């Protein structure tokens, strides 16, 4: 189909995803990425898939179901399907108490335990980074601490299942209204404001911070994660609520195996590790510390 024909392709607003195809998509997403899509999510899934269906030059949900399950298109389409149905809610300084604890308790404790090292490298991992707001928030906090102490270095990793949001994180460009939670002093240090007349106001993270944050695709349902096992702080906030209990426990166990002794795991305030087999000390609401000394 030509590009012009694709542009002219429409899908009827009254068209609906069949119950059978929704169940197959729901089971597929649950199996591949651990996310629950109950029947109540059916309208949400339809809304998010309409644009993709038009992009493929298809005219109905039935044709999309045929493409996925009956015509061999599933393997090539899976990354786009995952991008479409995953939720990517994020904000700068979301749940700000965690970043206050990072500044006042976590980083000082971690550095104190490694005081015999010259310029230790602190590693922070945003394990469901979405568009990068969480990772860049942590980078701002660490950069401020580093400027005061000048006795450590830091690096951040952001991972997500969605390739779309990872690309946004790498670009580090955000609508100006999204940075309202960023304190004014940090805005002046770490954000660049676009000045084009008539354009939608946008900001970009300064290059000095962008160089310290790396983004990579990761499916939390994978059996192993190809990352370091001496991470100091891992953030996995507001993600486990979408997983079944056995998957929650498996993901937490895998992540904890990447923490150095004494490292911290941060969950969302609506989440808990109660009922899992992971043994960690809770040091604050939704903040857990791995047993052992961080000293090397």
Listing from the earlier edge strand, what are the strands of the sheet with 213-217?
A: 213-217, 153-160, 121-126, 231-236, 259-267, 287-289, 281-284
Around Cβ 167, how many Cβ atoms within 10 Å? 12
φ, ψ of residue 60 to 5 degrees: the values are -160, 160
Tokens 């149905």 correspond to what residue?
Answer: 85
Q: Is 160 a known active-site residue?
A: yes
Reading the block at residue 74, the tokens are 């599933």
Check 24, 42, 48, 52 and give the catalytic one. Answer: 48
φ, ψ of residue 277 to 5 degrees: the values are -90, 5
Reading the block at residue 236, the tokens are 């996995």
Reading the block at residue 59, the tokens are 């005219």
For residue 172, give the nearest of 201, 125, 132, 141 by alpha carbon.
132
Q: Is 48 a known active-site residue?
A: yes
Give CA–CA dist 14/60, Å, rounded: 10
Check 21, 160, 232, 247 and give the catalytic one. Answer: 160
The answer to whether 155 touches 212, Cβ cutoff 8 Å, is: yes
Give CA–CA dist 205/169, Å, rounded: 10
3-class SS shares of the chain: helix, strand, coil, % to 5: 45, 15, 40
* Residues known to be catalytic: 48, 160
């Amino acid at each position: 189909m030509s590009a012009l024909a694709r542009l002219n392709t429409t899908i009827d607003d009254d068209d609906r995803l069949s119950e059978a195809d929704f169940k197959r998509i729901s089971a597929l997403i649950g199996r591949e990425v651990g996310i629950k899509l109950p029947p109540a999510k059916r309208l949400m899934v339809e809304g998010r898939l309409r644009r993709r269906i038009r992009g493929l030059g298809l005219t109905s949900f039935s044709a999309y179901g045929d493409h996925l399950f009956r015509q061999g298109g599933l393997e090539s389409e899976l990354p786009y399907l995952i991008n479409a149905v995953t939720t990517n809610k994020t904000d700068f300084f979301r749940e700000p108490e965690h970043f206050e604890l990072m500044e006042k308790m976590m980083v000082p404790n971690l550095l104190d335990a490694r005081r015999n090292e010259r310029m230790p490298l602190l590693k922070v991992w945003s394990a469901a980074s979405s568009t990068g707001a969480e990772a860049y928030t942590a980078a701002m906090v660490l950069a401020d601490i580093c400027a005061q102490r000048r006795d450590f270095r830091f690096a951040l990793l952001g991972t997500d299942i969605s390739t779309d949001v990872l690309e946004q994180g790498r670009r580090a460009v955000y609508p100006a209204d999204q940075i309202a939670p960023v304190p004014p002093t940090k805005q002046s240090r770490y954000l660049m404001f676009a000045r084009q007349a008539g354009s939608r106001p946008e900001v970009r993270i300064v290059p000095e911070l962008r160089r310290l944050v790396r983004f990579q695709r990761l499916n939390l349902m994978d059996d192993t994660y190809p990352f370091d096992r001496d991470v100091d702080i891992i953030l996995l906030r507001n993600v486990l609520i979408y997983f079944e209990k056995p998957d929650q426990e498996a993901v937490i166990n895998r992540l904890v195996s990447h923490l150095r002794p004494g490292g911290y795991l941060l969950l969302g305030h609506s989440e808990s590790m109660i009922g899992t087999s992971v043994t960690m000390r809770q040091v604050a609401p939704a903040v857990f510390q791995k047993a052992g000394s961080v000293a090397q």
